Amino acid sequence: SSSSSVVGRGVVGEPSSREARRGARVVRRRRSFVRSFVDAQQNIMGVLGTLLHHPGDVFPLVKVKRMADKAKRLPKEKNLAYCYDVLNKVSRSFAIVIQQLDEELRDAVCVFYLVLRALDTIEDDMAIPIDEKLPQLLEFYQYIYDPAYSTNCGEKHYKDLMANYPKVTAVFLKLKKPYREVIADITRRMGAGMAKFIEKEVMTMEDFDEYCHYVAGLVGIGLSNLWGASKMESKEFIGEEKLSNAMGLFLQKTNIIRDYLEDIQELPAPRMFWPRSVWSKYAKELDDLQHEENREAAVQCMNELITNALHHSLDCMKYMARIKEASIFRFCAIPQVMAIATLAECYGNENVFRGVVKIRRGLSARIMLKCNNMLEFATGFKYFANQLVHKVQPNKDPNGEETLRAIEALEEVCDKIIAEESEKMHIARVNDDSLPMSTRMLLWFLFGGYFTYAWRLEEVRESLGVNRHAGDPRVDAFQRWFATICFIIISLLVIVGKKR
Provide the annotated active-site residues.
211, 258, 271, 331
> Using an 8 Å Cβ cutoff, are 152 and 138 in contact?
no
Neighbours of 141 (CB within 10 A): 20
Q: What are phi and psi of 102, to 5 degrees?
A: -70, 155
Q: How many Å apart are CA 452 and CA 445, to the nearest integer?
A: 11
Single out the residue of 95, 52, 47, 73 nearest to residue 360, CA to CA.
47
Sign of the Cα torsion 24, 28, 31, 33 reads: negative
Q: How many Å apart are CA 323 and CA 285, to the nearest integer?
A: 43
Whole-number Cα distances in Å, 110 to 107, 226, 264, 326, 334: 5, 12, 30, 18, 17
Q: How many Å apart are CA 176 and CA 448, to the nearest integer?
A: 51
Q: How many Å apart are CA 140 and CA 383, to the nearest integer?
A: 42
> Using an 8 Å Cβ cutoff, are 230 and 182 in contact?
no
Q: In this structure, what is the dihedral angle of CA atoms 457, 459, 465, 471, given to the nearest 10 degrees? A: 30
